[in-house]
Chains A and B, each alone.
Chain A
Amino acid sequence: MSVQAPPATAWRVFTEKMSSWWPLGHYKIGKGKAVEAIIEPHVGGRWYERGEDGSTCDWGRVLVWEPDVRLVLTWDINADWQYDPKLNTEIEVRFIADGKERTRVELEHRHLDRFGARREQMRRVFDQEGDWGKLLGMFARVAEQDPSS
């Protein structure tokens, strides 16, 4: 994807201002309304949502933090809606300068097979309500279907 913005701006919007674009209406895990998606800006930092009642739900954590260049996050929500630090599917986002005013943004969601390894557990996700459950269930399904992963 090509974005009409310098890498530093693209990076800042992706990380500091995730709440401004992440589809929180559909893709969140807390019971209440989610108002913020937050990435703590350092390796080992939390990636989480904050609900309007102030409660937080972890999504994953930061594995690689190279400002303006590369971000790797883990995605660690298991079938029981719990943060599971062992799950570790990964989302890598690369910001590649294309002149001064443009950035190519590449996103890869990988190691989905780690859901596959826990698919007995993940299968229960289908019994949960909502888009998020469907999405996680899909990850499990795709992981099962994809022999290359």
Chain B
Amino acid sequence: MAYAERALDALGDPTRRQIFKRLRGGARSVGQLAHGMDVSRPAVSQHLRVLKDARLVTDRAEGTRRLYAVDTRGVEALRNWLDGFWDEALSAFKSAAEQEAANERKST
């Protein structure tokens, strides 16, 4: 849950969404990510750090470069969070239905 919330917050920023979207096309360096965007390389690095903290992005060294890619753990956390919404709603429904059934049994 904590990572899902962090992921949601991280993706709340349009520039970070743009970066995340570009990484879905494959691993890229900071330079490649910054190319064609309206933000500086240091700003891209800063955004990548936030995405990394939310487990949406991983990085690895390749030669002299550092490559960034989508981290499936954060994506999985988001998926679980969505499932959690229905779990929350349905477990509340279950309690209400069972209470109602108990009342009916009492009154007959």
Give me the interface of A with B, judged by CB distance under 8 Å.
Answer: 1, 3-6, 9-10, 12-14, 17, 20-23, 27, 101, 103, 105, 107, 109, 123, 126-127, 134-135, 137-139, 141-142, 145
Contacts and interface: CB of A to CB of B under 8 A. Distances in A.
Given A20-B96, A109-B86, A127 B12 contact: yes
A141 B27 CA distance: 19
Interface string B85-108: 110111111111110110010000
A52 to B, nearest CB: 20
24 contacts: A3-B97, A4-B101, A5-B98, A5-B101, A9-B97, A9-B101, A13-B96, A13-B100, A14-B93, A17-B96, A20-B96, A21-B96, A22-B89, A23-B89, A105-B90, A105-B93, A105-B94, A127-B12, A135-B82, A138-B81, A138-B82, A141-B11, A142-B82, A145-B75
A107 B86 contact: yes
Contact of B100 (A12, A127, A138): A12
Interface string B6-21: 0010011010010000
Contacts of B81: 138
Contacts of B66: none
B7 to A, nearest CB: 9
Contacts of B95: 21
A23 B88 contact: yes
B90 to A, nearest CB: 6
Given A127-B14, A135-B85, A141-B11, A13 B93 contact: yes
B97 A5 contact: yes
A23 B86 CA distance: 10
Interface residues of B, number: 26
Nearest to B104: A9
Interface of B: 8, 11-12, 14, 17, 75, 78-79, 81-82, 85-86, 88-98, 100-101, 104
Contact of A142 (B79, B91, B94): B79
A80 B89 CA distance: 24
Contact of B98 (A4, A109, A134): A4
B62 to A, nearest CB: 25
Contacts of B101: 4-6, 9, 101
A18 B23 CA distance: 41
A10 B98 CA distance: 8
Nearest to B98: A4
